[in-house]
Chain A
């Protein structure tokens, strides 16, 4: 029930804002309403710790003989860290909105609150059916908001292609569910069959842009800081949670090393482009690619706790950076605490990240981690030109940094309490090497031209027609279209009925061959 309360707090607050916007468009206390809803929701997620693990089951679909799987949400050591991170991000989005140039009862606040609620539902979903429904909701919401916010033929096409990749991710999750159902186990993720495990990984990989490597989100969208950050990070986290549920037995497959290689290629690419991105918002897709690839490597190496660690880092560390829209020197320095969170050093948020069997992949993982952390440091210490907070009213000057600070506090807190990955020493030697490499990269960045910011060139967003894989699919599609056109012209033409009857006679003769 607590899951429902936390989500309802966010949904009801969003609904209240809508009502206020209609009835009292000039009301000045709407931000307070939004912030109160966010605070209460965050506190309620903390309350989960008193009862965990617990479940929330919605009334079953009927007839029960057909729908054995209920819609089930579960608060446990996997879902709680994700949920608290999402609740914190939602509150931080509202708090930092106080420093935005246009400060009114904005649809972005309602969107962020509602999205937070859906995000919590997604990460607590305890079986494929439940997750399918929440993913579908997120995908349709994102499609709608993106289509409303972009202009131009090419950008609209990119939005549709993004939607299509996520829809195919949904199809893969559904297939994992079908495979599991065929073997008689569908009630929850814990009881899913081993043979469905790799489909789960592939589903998450496709939605997150790792298998095959592509950027699922366009960077040209006007949805930038507030709602845009929530949408990107929560959407990614909702897909990452699947990785934490992957049955460990399924990773003994022969293709696991191949998948790890693909994930590492994506993560190195993401880390490299993130390091060289001109600013943090343009680099955001690469930040996501980099961290989700690292989490995928964790999952494939048999360490689901690592997925949670990278997922929380994605939301909390990324949230702190992407929500920063105002120049405050001391806050920039405080944000460097997040470097600790990303370091995988003992007792940090990501300390449990590398507890799996990495083997020969270890050097690449270290390199990726170093690129990602160095990129983060670069974007924090060399921010682009931002506005100053001096022009804002006094209360906004106090509230805005609180939002960023909240996310940093959460990173430190999660490293210490509440879940399996807390208070871990982890792979400290690996972390140390990664940290040294990070500082080397930070030192080298201003000194070597190759590390200077440029724009992406060889992998663009999903719309890229130059990508060989997509070009191959397109060619196959055109061949099939010509073939189908030939069949259709034959069957629908003047002699169509004769051809049809001929086909029919052929089928009947084939089918009756097996009869007595």
Chain B
């Protein structure tokens, strides 16, 4: 068995089979179980290393050829695949509790497999094509059948599609830069093209307005999944660029531009979140702020870029899943996520509200919760470089904190009403496990160390 077959083809086929054969009831468990098994395999069986099980020798070969292109996974990709499929399993197990249709699991599996292919493909510029195909597959996930797509969906597709030519064009120019590194004109043009490509992909300010729009018009769970999956893989893709091209890392102007973009996203995301009256849009702005943090990390002059990035990505997956699930449950009850519609829900849906608030606080970097250790590390790293940058990041996180407190105030503002639990047992179990996970990751981030320890070797030069 080769690794690309196992982690790209199998989940893609699994998605197709679930779409065609399984009923909605079983799809969540099937998709979740498949993802969990793939995560466990990635964790237990090292790629390209023979394992003896009794008399049987097992070896997962690292690559496969496909139409002249190669898909390769190195041994160090194991923890990354475990993280990807582990978090994806959480999302798929949560679909039943969220009441999302079975298309979510099948399309979700296909999207994850395509995105996984994007980090394995060689030449790696083809990742842009795979990201574009994945973005297209997201559309049926966001738009219910026989319904006209909303403005947010259209804008999402436009921006993702615009990203592809910029990335491919920059790839062509980068070859020229490698050939003549002294040509500053070409270098600037290549850097600008690449920057624009990633600006569209990562929804850098002001290209992020489709995110809150999507949160308003589409299913919160599906949109939450999209907001977890796309930035995660795009960031890994971007790290690959930084790792490959030395001049990208060493050009001070580029590093400043990356930092500036990150700061604007963090600060504006946090401030806009604090001013919203729609709890779905708040999630959108929180993810924008967090993507800003990831971009900011890429611009740091530090050997800890990879560690910091993954320290954010894992809790992000969990917090987003819990938050999106809670939003889905609330939306099924109140049909709208406006403050006026969800006021006083804390007493009738206490577990959902508690999970939502804790996930929100986690993204704001509240101590004890999953997002805190990563933010603390970023702040400490930033403080050594620039206190003014740190101030803006701090402002962004304060904005998210204000948003969380406003949401909490709206949820608890109710006249005399008895406490009661109206969530189903599946919802209680999923939200409960998610919240426990948030606390565990917040108090003991060292449990991520088995995943994080080998990841820097994926990007050797970034750690230098």
Contacts and interface: CB of A to CB of B under 8 A. Distances in A.
Contacts of A132: 367
A168 B384 CA distance: 23
Contacts of A163: 405, 408
Contact of A515 (B253, B419, B453): B253
Contact of B184 (A136, A164, A516): A516
A484 B199 CA distance: 22
Contacts of B384: 181-182, 184
B184 A167 contact: no
Contact of B405 (A67, A160, A496, A504): A160
A393 interface: no
B409 interface: yes
Given A178-B390, A178-B394, A514-B253, A492 B209 contact: yes
Interface in A48-81: 59-63, 65-68
Interface in A117-142: 129, 132-133, 135-137, 140
A153 B413 contact: yes
A377 B448 CA distance: 56
A512 interface: yes
A257 B311 CA distance: 43
Among B188, B405, B452: residue with most chain A CB under 10 A: B405
B58 to A, nearest CB: 30
A335 interface: no
A66 B304 contact: yes
A195 B76 CA distance: 43
Interface string B365-378: 01110000100110
A176 to B, nearest CB: 11
Contacts of A136: 366-368
Contacts of B402: 164
Given A60-B446, A182-B384, A504-B206, A152 B415 contact: yes
Nearest to A502: B206
Contacts of A59: 446
A71 to B, nearest CB: 9
A156 B414 contact: yes
B45 interface: no
Interface in B369-416: 373, 376-377, 379-381, 383-384, 387, 390, 394, 398, 401-402, 405, 408-409, 412-416
A147 B155 CA distance: 42
Given A63-B452, A66-B308, A178-B380, A133 B414 contact: no
A203 to B, nearest CB: 13
Interface in B422-459: 443-446, 448-449, 452-453
A481 B272 CA distance: 8
Contacts of B213: 492
Contact of B408 (A63, A152, A160, A511): A160
Chain B binding surface, main DSSP class: helix
A178 B416 contact: no
B149 to A, nearest CB: 15
Contact of B379 (A65, A181, A488): A181
B220 to A, nearest CB: 18
Interface band, chain A: 35 or more
A168 B395 CA distance: 12
B192 interface: yes
Contact of A133 (B257, B368, B419, B448): B368
Among A60, A496, A497: residue with most chain B CB under 10 A: A497
B413 A157 contact: yes
A125 to B, nearest CB: 12
B207 interface: yes
Contact of A151 (B304, B416, B444): B416
Given A66-B304, A514-B253, A160 B409 contact: yes
A331 to B, nearest CB: 38
Contacts of A137: 368
What 10 A-B pairs are tightest by C-beta distance, nearest first?
Answer: A182-B383, A136-B367, A62-B446, A66-B377, A503-B206, A156-B412, A160-B409, A181-B380, A491-B209, A484-B275
Given A147-B346, A147-B412, A496-B155, 10 more contacts: A63-B453, A67-B373, A153-B413, A156-B409, A160-B412, A164-B405, A167-B405, A182-B387, A497-B158, A512-B188
29 contacts: A62-B446, A62-B448, A63-B304, A66-B304, A66-B311, A66-B381, A67-B445, A136-B366, A140-B368, A152-B416, A156-B414, A163-B408, A167-B405, A168-B401, A170-B367, A175-B394, A178-B379, A179-B387, A182-B383, A182-B384, A488-B209, A497-B155, A499-B206, A503-B205, A504-B199, A508-B192, A511-B257, A515-B191, A516-B184
Interface of B: 151, 155, 158, 184, 188, 191-192, 195-196, 199, 205-207, 209, 212-213, 253, 256-257, 260, 271-272, 275, 304, 307-308, 311, 346, 366-368, 373, 376-377, 379-381, 383-384, 387, 390, 394, 398, 401-402, 405, 408-409, 412-416, 419, 443-446, 448-449, 452-453
